[in-house]
Structure 1
Amino acid sequence: MQATSTPEHPEAPPATKSRSFKRAFADVREAWDHRELWGHLGWQDIKQRYRRSVIGPLWITISMGTTALALGLLYSVLFKTEVSTFLPYVTVGFIVWNFIVGCVTEGTDVFIANEGLIKHLPAPITVHVMRMVWRQVLFLLHNLVVYAVVLAIFFTSLNHEYRISENGPVHPGLSWTVVLAIPGFVLLAVNAVWISLLFGVISTRFRDIPPVVNSFINLVFFMTPIVWDAGVLQRVTGGSGGDGDWRILIAELNPVYHFVEVVRAPLLGHAVDWHHWAIVGGFTVLGWLLAMVILRNYRARVSYWV
């Protein structure tokens, strides 16, 4: 357990014996054992945010629906694509993106925002990360209502082969592969935990990190195929990628694109490209290794830095 009160010298390092992988793994394991605690706190966060509101958390769904509708209609006109296929694409992309950006931005502030609990509650610091990720999961579940509505409206356009952009690939349409969105989202949530741990510890020590991340995330949004289809980056000529092969690297070198695709592709009936899963799996392993190193070395210092 970390210190429960601020010492006389805030920057005094904790005991060296606390820096071990055994303690780091124990912190994560104990946080999972406290799932009733962070599960309850995460749900209370949403109830508190919409306290005295008539429709409560449904504002989450309404906000997502209006944003997806407005941008879907706008960009379908700009890119000259069919609304019936492009609007579902934008909607699902926004749902996944909001989960990712919520975990990243709130992850940078997760320990700072819970300063009081960290100093006075004898609990693993990973509990605060789990609480935040669970809160974002609840937001995503509310937003899935928008996906259900859009799917019901445009189902006839998605249950057979279709294209999103004129020169884009042909997608097979909705099928049993929609269930692959479940393991895709599990991978997304597992990665959200290590990302929040990593950014949370670093941001607690260096307070300039949160505004830098918030600024950089806007650039990532426009470089990620959310409101535009990756198919526009290549020009299909005679069934080959032609001279557009190098353009697709703009998307392929963006890790967020692969995290979005493992959830979005199954939900829209796109062909399941397993290289997305391989890349996300690689980030999962490497990310958790890095997070455990950070947790091993600096877990006990978080209570001194907040």
Structure 2
Amino acid sequence: MLKKIFFHIGFQDILLALSECWLPCILAWQDISVRYKRSKIGQFWLTLNTLVYIASLGLIFGTLFRFNLHEYLPNICAAILMWNFMTASISEGCQAFIGADSIILQVKLPFFTHILRVVFRNAFIFGHNIIIFPIIVFFVGYTMNFCALLAIPGLFFILINLLWVCTILSVLCTRYRDLHQVVTSILQIMFYATPVVWDAKILPVTVSLLWVHLNPFHNFIELVKLPLLGFPPKASEWLFCGALAVIGWCLAFYVLGKYKQRIAYWL
């Protein structure tokens, strides 16, 4: 009975925040504007830095592993853009409630509003950075097709999953402050364990690809990367991300509902 009550409380908080989603949108855009208030090119500094980072990694690893840069540069570009978006959302999501403590303690808002603020902020940054991909594609002469449109529902799937992950982690990290450092370390490890700068095809035949296919980050990246490269994602990847979203949201409703009344006290 209590589980149903907690589930309902969490669901109501999230539903109320979504009904007023204009507020976290404004707050997210304000965060970016304030950060680059006196800069001449503003938030596009993020895009320029990311472009230099992707070009450097692509040329270095492409040369080391002797990859065909015509295919490797668009591949690593799409993968890094998605990786940066996901990891930045998760890392900042851990601190969503802690960073908004002054608002939480003074203004009565749905707690999920602060999660939306973090994810929307990084989504806006991703919107600026995505222009890097056509630049890289044009530079190497790679051909795109209409499969690129499938990246839109793929990005939607990623947003849905990021929101429940950030919801759970924000509650836990508010209670256990050291957990954020643990999450950061795990993300660093996952960067090397996920085919971002390397391709799963280069793995020896003696190594099972099962651990790659069960890696959530790999499946999320593939939903957007493959369409941008001109290939439709596999049905198994859609099903994996969809099933993960259903399970994750059920858990997020319960965790948020159970600990909602304690969050302000922990702050």
Give the TM interval when normalised to the shorter protein. Answer: over 0.9
1:123 aligns with 2:99: no
* Map of 1:168 onto structure 2: none
* Map of 2:123 onto structure 1: 137
1:211 aligns with 2:170: no
From 263, 271, 282, the counterpart of 2:224 = 263
Shift of 1:19: 5.0
Unaligned runs of 5+ in 1: 1-15, 160-173, 235-242
Matches within 5 A, 1:1-306: 19-155=5-141, 158-159=142-143, 174-234=144-204, 243-244=205-206, 246-306=207-267
What are the superposed Cα offsets for residues 206-265 of structure 1, whole Å, 9 maximum, x if unpaired? 11100111111110000111100111125xxxxxxxx45x43234223211101111111
Give yes or no for contact 2:168–2:255 (8 Å, CA) kept in 1. Answer: yes
What are the superposed Cα offsets for residues 171-225 of structure 1, whole Å, 9 maximum, x if unpaired? xxx3322111000000111111111100000010111100111111110000111
Give yes or no for contact 2:6–2:254 (8 Å, CA) kept in 1. Answer: no
Q: TM-score if structure 1 supplies the norm length? A: 0.83
Q: Which residue type is aligned with residue 86 of structure 2? A: I
Shift of 1:46: 0.2
Aligned residues, how many?
266
Give yes or no for contact 1:19–1:298 (8 Å, CA) kept in 2. Answer: no
What are the superposed Cα offsets for residues 243-291 of structure 1, whole Å, 9 maximum, x if unpaired? 45x4323422321110111111101113522211111111111110111
Q: Which residue type is aligned with residue 116 of structure 2? A: M
The structure carrying a bigger helix percent of its residues is: 2
Unaligned runs of 5+ in 2: none
Shift of 1:85: 1.0
SS, match of residue 20 in structure 1? helix
Q: RMSD of aligned C-alpha atoms? A: 1.7
* Map of 1:238 onto structure 2: none
Give yes or no for contact 2:93–2:115 (8 Å, CA) kept in 1. Answer: yes
Distance 1:298 1:229, change over 3 A: same
Q: Which residue type is aligned with residue 69 of structure 2? A: V
- The alignment-based identity, stated in percent, is 32
Q: Distance in 1 between matches of 2:126 and 2:20?
A: 22
Give yes or no for contact 2:89–2:162 (8 Å, CA) kept in 1. Answer: yes
Give yes or no for contact 2:148–2:227 (8 Å, CA) kept in 1. Answer: yes
Shift of 1:23: 2.3
Q: Which residue type is aligned with residue 253 of structure 1? A: L
Q: Which residue type is aligned with residue 96 of structure 1? A: M
SS, match of residue 207 in structure 1? coil
Q: Distance in 1 between matches of 2:189 and 2:26?
A: 34
